[in-house]
């Protein structure tokens, strides 16, 4: 079978790597891919939102299964577009992807189906948003309604910070039309975790738990990023907590979508805050997290293609998805300056040395070829993952591998997986 993966980051590298272990696949393609993915798949330089070109490519190459990594094509309806052409694609349709592409839709949905989440109000006029902030006081959370690559959320410790966030989103239009509306939300305190499920719209199958490090600096300081590292499993997501997450959040969410006439298929990701032993939804994503995918897929012990096909054919209940015991730790190597401005095109050395380490995988997030060299091409450059008997072992392996990789302005957090 020929498979196409859409995207070109660390998550897609992990998807391609996982698929490459399947003995049912005779060709893996990736659009657009990156320098690391190119070792396992044929990379084709087509943008993730150029649906016409992607569909032409899938038909021309007789692709039998397409898997979508990032949120932007899902939010723009890539699944609907492929399905209209009779092509097999795994992921939620545009209306289902609104759980991520519109935070106001997601919050209203959560409220309708009584799924625990922070108290909130949605505003399309900045003056009213600020009045509400004054009424509620700080700390308070300000969120852009639409997609903002993980950067549209501001946890404001003072009212002034909250006003500034509203201005940044609504008046300075930092995220364009994603800032037409803002959500002002109660600030929850607790422990955060990421929880993802596979679903075919009927069966909801949990993945192992993971945790993302969203802030740029150690000890969770500084602005939010797309994610600076992840590990799996999370010690406070006990089997009992997992049952609670499934029964109070994931299963009601998929059932709720069905009641709305939406058959949600693919991966559903919940960003959770566990407060006083109870899980609350901070956000939904309609796809694998990045870097959570890298951490979780390092522990997957079932053929990912089998899962993808079972989702599409709505027979996920027939499958037993297995996970490796032990733990994984993934550390993102970024360009210094990210999530603000940074320099790219830096030559990366030591990749082969690092990859030789046992139980280590160097996932490429933003790399490209410059002649025969591999260079950085975006804010998040690499994601070094390691698998071990426990978090401590995995962490040691990951950080040891990182030391072998060099590029100018390499920046990473040293506290990923620290308990
Ligand atoms: P989100 O993209 O909605 O997951 O938000 C990014 C980060 O902001 C989360 O991982 C949390 O650390 C923080 N956050 C979001 N919503 C809240 C909330 N209601 N209370 C406290 N922190 C939050
Ligand atoms: N790491 C969080 C996300 O992928 O949205």
Q: Is 72 left (phi over 0), alpha (psi -120 to 50) or beta?
A: alpha
Residue 34 lies in a domain: yes
How far apart are alpha carbons 322 and 236 in whole angstroms? Answer: 21
**Residue 43 is encoded by which pair of tokens?**
């990379």
Q: What is the pTM of this model?
A: 0.95
**Is the CB–ligand 2 distance for residue 227 below 6 Å?**
yes
pLDDT digits (tens, 9 = 90+) for 361-395: 999 999 999 999 999 999 999 999 999 999 999 99
Q: Give the three-class secondary structure for 131.
A: helix
Same domain flag for 254 and 338: no
Is the pLDDT at 150 greater than 90? The verdict is no
Instruction: Based on the fold, state whether residues 204 and 284 are members of the same structural domain.
Output: yes
Pocket lining: 92 vs ligand 2, CB cutoff 6 Å = no
Task: Check whether 304 has a pLDDT greater than 80.
Answer: yes
CATH number assigned to the domain comprising residue 87 = 3.40.50.20
Boundary of a domain, candidates 288, 318, 348: 318
Is the separation of the CB atoms in 338 and 380 below 8 Å?
A: yes
386 assigned to some structural domain? yes
Which 3-state string (H, E, C) describes 152-169?
CEEEECCHHHHHHHHHHH
Specify whether 285 is located in the same domain as 339: no
For ligand 2, is residue 152 a contact (CB within 6 Å)? no
Query: Are residues 285 and 349 both part of a single domain?
Result: no
Residue ending a domain, among 51, 73, 91, is 91
Among residues 168, 186, 204, the one where a domain terminates is 186
Query: How many CB atoms within 10 Å of residue 27?
Result: 14
Whole-number Å distance, alpha carbon 282 to ligand 1 midpoint, is 6
- Given a contact cutoff of 8 angstroms between Cβ atoms, the answer to whether 291 and 11 are in contact is yes
111, part of any domain: no
Same domain, yes or no: 202 and 276: yes
Residue whose CB lies within 8 A of the most ligand 1 atoms, among 118, 271, 272, 292, for a mutation test: 271
Q: Is 285 in the pocket of ligand 2 (CB under 6 A)?
A: yes
What pLDDT is recorded for position 51?
A: 98
Indicate which atom in ligand 2 lies nearest the CA of residue 212.
1
Same domain, 310 and 201: yes
In-domain check, residue 380: yes
What confidence category does residue 151 fall into, taking pLDDT thresholds of 50, 70 and 90?
Answer: confident
The Cα 266–Cα 404 span in angstroms is 36
- As a whole number, the mean pLDDT across the chain is 96
Best residue for ligand 2 mutational test, from 290, 297, 380, 383 (most atoms within 8 Å of Cβ): 290
Residue 293 alpha carbon to ligand 2 centre in Å: 9
The distance from CA 220 to its chain's CA centroid, rounded to whole angstroms, is 18
pLDDT digits (tens, 9 = 90+) for 196-218: 999 999 999 999 999 999 999 99
Identify whether 418 is part of a domain: no
Name the domain count of the chain: 4
The domain in which residue 171 lies consists of 119-186
- Per residue in 107-140, pLDDT (tens digit) is 999 999 999 999 999 999 999 999 999 999 999 9
List Cα–Cα distances, 56 to 92, 163, 203, 243, 311, in angstroms. Answer: 21, 47, 32, 43, 24
* pLDDT exceeds 90 at position 189: yes
**The token pair that represents 76 in the structure block:** 């723009």
């Amino acid at each position: 079978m020929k498979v196409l993966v859409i995207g070109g980051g660390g998550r897609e590298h992990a998807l391609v790597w996982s698929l490459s272990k399947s003995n049912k696949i005779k060709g893996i393609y990736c659009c657009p891919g990156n320098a690391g993915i190119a070792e396992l798949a044929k990379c084709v330089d087509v943008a993730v939102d150029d649906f016409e070109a992607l569909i032409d490519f899938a038909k021309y190459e007789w692709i039998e299964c397409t898997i979508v990594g990032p949120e932007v094509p899902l939010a723009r309806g890539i699944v609907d577009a492929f399905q209209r052409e009779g092509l097999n694609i795994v992921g939620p349709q545009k209306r289902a992807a609104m759980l991520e592409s519109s935070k106001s839709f997601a919050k209203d949905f959560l409220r309708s189906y009584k799924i625990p989440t922070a108290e909130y109000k949605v505003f399309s006029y900045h003056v009213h948003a600020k009045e509400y902030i004054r009424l509620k006081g700080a700390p308070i959370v300000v969120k852009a309604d639409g997609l903002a690559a993980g950067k549209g959320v501001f946890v404001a410790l003072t009212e002034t910070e909250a006003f500034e966030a509203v201005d940044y989103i609504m008046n300075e239009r930092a995220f364009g039309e994603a800032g037409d509306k803002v959500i002002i939300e109660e600030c929850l305190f607790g422990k955060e975790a990421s929880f993802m499920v596979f679903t075919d719209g009927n069966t909801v199958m949990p993945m192992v738990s993971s945790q993302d490090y969203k802030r740029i600096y150690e000890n969770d300081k500084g602005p939010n990023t797309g994610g600076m590292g992840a590990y799996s499993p999370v010690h406070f997501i006990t089997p009992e907590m997992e049952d609670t997450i499934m029964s109070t959040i994931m299963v009601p969410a998929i059932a709720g979508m069905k009641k709305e006439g939406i058959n949600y298929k693919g991966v559903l990701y919940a960003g959770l805050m566990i407060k006083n032993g109870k899980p609350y939804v901070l956000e939904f994503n309609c796809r694998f997290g990045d870097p959570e995918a890298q951490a979780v897929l390092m522990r997957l012990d079932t053929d990912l293609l089998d899962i993808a096909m079972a989702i599409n054919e709505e027979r996920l209940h027939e499958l037993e998805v297995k996970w490796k015991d032990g733990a994984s730790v993934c550390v993102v190597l970024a360009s210094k300056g990210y999530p603000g401005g940074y320099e790219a095109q830096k030559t990366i050395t030591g990749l082969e040395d690092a990859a030789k380490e046992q139980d280590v995988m160097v996932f490429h997030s933003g790399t490209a070829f410059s002649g025969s060299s591999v260079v950085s091409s975006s804010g998040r450059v690499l994601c070094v993952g390691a698998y071990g008997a426990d978090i401590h072992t995995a962490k040691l392996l990951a950080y040891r591998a990182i030391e072998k990789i060099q590029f100018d302005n390499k920046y990473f957090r040293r506290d990923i997986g620290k308990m």
